[in-house]
Structure 1
């Protein structure tokens, strides 16, 4: 029998008593799904699973995205986040893998740069550094509920242009190739998503949010920056300190997240992500 252990006053919980190397019963999965809906972030400790087992469990939540061009694992159901080459040797700081990992240190929601952005992500810790490399999460539902009325009013009915090339240019203007730009052109997303009367609304922002439709460049950026400054207060944040074989599941439409630094020139890190595809565009769920 599994139990749910709260990790933060506002969101995030640990699922205790589950072995994902074995099939998950329908009743246990229902408990997990209910917890996920309310908690937005779930932690599964000590899950020594392989890629196929991770894919099988991920697919219980929905169809998986196929990894985009320019990312390790492109064309498959896996995203490989690593600072090592195929021989297990740490790559130099100028390597594209390392630069993309640096970009992941910006607050973001996975695949918000896609017309149909991701529903959820599942990340498995295969190799972790001895220190650092935590992952931080912000509950954007809790943030919206706490927003001052003037900021709620400013955010309502806004459409934001999310652009993968924009976020990556903050790290290196040459990081995104022409092929990648063509594969993931800028898209329109709602700034506020309504999750229904039980769960309420959330902000939908992050590093890929480039500009606000219908507003001047400076004015739009000022609004995004003001909302993100409010959102990233410590009271809304859960920090996950990774242990070997941790597995995390999070709701990309209710939280933003970021990686924290580690000694990537000497320490090894290998994480494997599966991404559960969205089934409705954000503008269809806008306030």
Structure 2
């Protein structure tokens, strides 16, 4: 009986998966086939399984946690902090009532009945509410868009970053129109279908560094702000979505919800892939607080300089040649190694444009190394 079939995309990362004939539910793979799937995930970083429209939240959750034996039954964020009106994530989604680790994200208003929900509305993240310099009405009319926020899925306070995120396209915009990302610091541009999810590889990002920068990255720890998504609530992002503009608008530490020094996340700038052994440049520049020397603990860059350094190191990796922008087809199940890539929402959507995704990630029991 043929097992999992892996068909690499024609690029540095990413692959399409065909499931074996005995199941169309990836959470129900036998142990041998699941190990092949896990190996493919850690090798190719982003996997797509088509025709998963009927995948239940229970199966999506079961698949997600199967990748990480250390994980607990906790969404990747503290839900109270995630939904706080002071968090930049507050409007990002709603939990499936019976399986709250699965988050519904998207755009538009949906009638009662979906996964036990009453009528509910979702709002697609927009650069117009997050970036310092926003697109003009004319640019939007001319089909411009932006990378919204490059990130890893992680609370970056108290909880360890999830190993994998699964994302199911339940309702997606038709692939009838492309939008264009223009890079402000170059002549580059990238065409994407509306609502495409953009990925870049931490392995590729590390490989693009100079030898001096590789040495720096390997010896640097990223210290994240306490409750970072509240800390940056009043800040605005750079136009490429890589980090925040430093204007002194961060919430004072004594105004944040209660936090403890011992729960701050202090993570290496480079994470090692447990299957390939490859170094991956992995950090969330929007949430960085300072950079320290991994050996001595000495601070090497405070907030503004830390943001500048992180932006400079990661910027080459988001050039068009290194970005995979997944154009969604209804029923696509995309799962990605959350410790091997960073990703971003794209797309400008009118309020009546329907998009509904089921997203699941669960906090790990161990930090990456």
TM-score (norm 1): 0.83
Alignment-derived partner of residue 208 in structure 1: 287
1:236 matched to 2:322? The reply is yes
Aligned equivalents of 2:154 and 2:65: distance in 1?
A: 17
| 1:91-170 correspondence runs (5 A) | 91=121, 97-99=123-125, 105-111=148-154, 113-115=156-158, 116-131=160-175, 132-162=194-224, 163-170=228-235
1:31 matched to 2:18? The reply is no
Tell whether the 8 Å contact from 1:90 to 1:266 is kept in structure 2 after alignment.
no
Shift of 1:11: 1.2
Aligned equivalents of 1:22 and 1:76: distance in 2?
A: 18
1:83 matched to 2:107? The reply is yes
User: Relative contact order: is structure 1 or structure 2 higher (C-alpha 8 Å, sep ≥ 6)?
Assistant: 1
Aligned equivalents of 2:39 and 2:173: distance in 1?
A: 32
Q: Which runs of 5+ in 2 are unaligned?
A: 84-92, 113-118, 131-146, 176-193, 238-248, 293-298
Alignment-derived partner of residue 72 in structure 1: 94
Aligned equivalents of 2:257 and 2:9: distance in 1?
A: 39
Aligned equivalents of 1:42 and 1:196: distance in 2?
A: 17
Tell whether the 8 Å contact from 1:126 to 1:245 is kept in structure 2 after alignment.
yes
Rg larger for: 2
Alignment-derived partner of residue 199 in structure 1: 277
Tell whether the 8 Å contact from 2:60 to 2:360 is kept in structure 1 after alignment.
yes
How large is the RMSD of aligned CA atoms in angstroms?
3.3
- Residues matched between the structures, number: 277
3-state secondary structure, aligned to 2:101: coil
